[in-house]
A and B are shown apart, each in its own frame.
Chain A
Amino acid sequence: MKKCDQYKDLILTDYIDRQLSQEVSSELENHLLDCSDCRIFLKEVKNNKTPFQQAFQEQVPGELWDTIKQKIENDNQVNDRIEDILGKLRGLIFFPRLVPVFVSFVLMLLAGSVTFNRIQIQQTQARDQGEYLVSLLSNTTSVSQAESNDLGTPIEHYFL
């Protein structure tokens, strides 16, 4: 069973606006039969709503459409003028399509740098392997020097 405050909340919103389910509406109406305080409250709420429900829909002033139409026409004229100027400029100067040109440039740059890096890595590896093999075969001082500096791991051998 709800208290009067809860019923009053319903009266203020869903009941007065006919948004309540049939079941809750009947429950509230049964309560209203017994509660004079809630009945008075309902009357007050209804009285407050009346001026708004009786409010007139004002005639829209004719000047509104004229102003809107004028504004749109002005906007269109400005847009046409800008389009006209741009058209003339396009005729005078060759504008490459900047975005595709820029994208192609970046892609070419990326492809170039990747290829260049790959060649460099391959060259370095070949040189290192060659030097190592030569040092192993000749058993020169450079190898013994390298051995004296190394840390005794296979990877050190490889790089020195």
Chain B
Amino acid sequence: MKDTMEDITKDTLIRASQGDMPAFEDVYKASSSFVYNVALRVVNNREDALEVSQEVFMTIYYKLKTFRFESSFKTWVYRITANCAINFAKKNSKTKTVPFEEAYGGGAVFNDAQKNLDQEHQEKLVENLLGELNADQRACVVLRDIQGLSYEEMAQALNINVNTVRSRLKRAREKLLSLSNRVNYEKV
């Protein structure tokens, strides 16, 4: 079974922090899926996601020496990933996808039929929906709805308080709701 971030031992982290490449590869294997997928959803582009993931792992490699084991390693990785991805998305805000209404104006996407969408459609839909949100809102939706983090974990990852997490999620979902209502209204 594939290791997750919870499975990484303190010994592995210490060895990785001392420059031991096999140990760092273990760290990479356990955290790369989270890092890459969060980066991918926040920057909404595969090429950029690779760049952000690279930056995240270089940061982990060089800053592991300063990791004091006061918080969990998982939370630390969440924070670095969210930080790098949001900063990249803000700097490169041109990466906006096709406007949602333009892409879905002619078709129903929020009714029960969406359950039958094939993988490609599903991916496109997620990409376009996320493209309508700003980087901070996108990070919240990704961490909560795709990665399943709790509000507490999100607050730590984003370095904000839990109420700010709530308000960002609320605004993001309100925006997505109004989009779906407009698309469905135009369809009728």
Contacts and interface: CB of A to CB of B under 8 A. Distances in A.
B60 to A, nearest CB: 10
B103 interface: no
B151 interface: yes
Nearest to A67: B54
Interface in A1-51: 9, 12-14, 17, 19, 44-45, 47-51
A64 interface: yes
Given A47-B111, A65-B32, A68-B57, A12 B174 contact: yes
Interface string A58-77: 10110111011101100010
B71 to A, nearest CB: 21
Which secondary structure dominates where chain A touches chain B? helix
Which secondary structure dominates where chain B touches chain A? helix
A51 B177 contact: no
B144 to A, nearest CB: 6
Q: What's the interface size class on B, roughly?
A: 35 or more
A68 B114 contact: no
A48 B100 CA distance: 14
B21 interface: yes
A55 interface: yes
A148 interface: no
A52 interface: yes
Nearest to B166: A13
B110 A44 contact: yes
Q: What's the interface size class on A, roughly?
A: 20 to 34
Contacts of B80: none
A64 B151 contact: no
A58 to B, nearest CB: 6
A116 interface: no
B180 A47 contact: yes
A53 interface: yes
Interface of A: 9, 12-14, 17, 19, 44-45, 47-58, 60-61, 63-65, 67-69, 71-72, 76
28 contacts: A12-B170, A12-B173, A12-B174, A13-B166, A13-B170, A19-B151, A45-B177, A47-B110, A47-B114, A48-B110, A51-B114, A51-B122, A51-B129, A52-B129, A53-B145, A55-B122, A56-B123, A58-B40, A60-B33, A60-B53, A61-B36, A64-B54, A65-B28, A69-B21, A72-B21, A72-B58, A72-B61, A76-B19
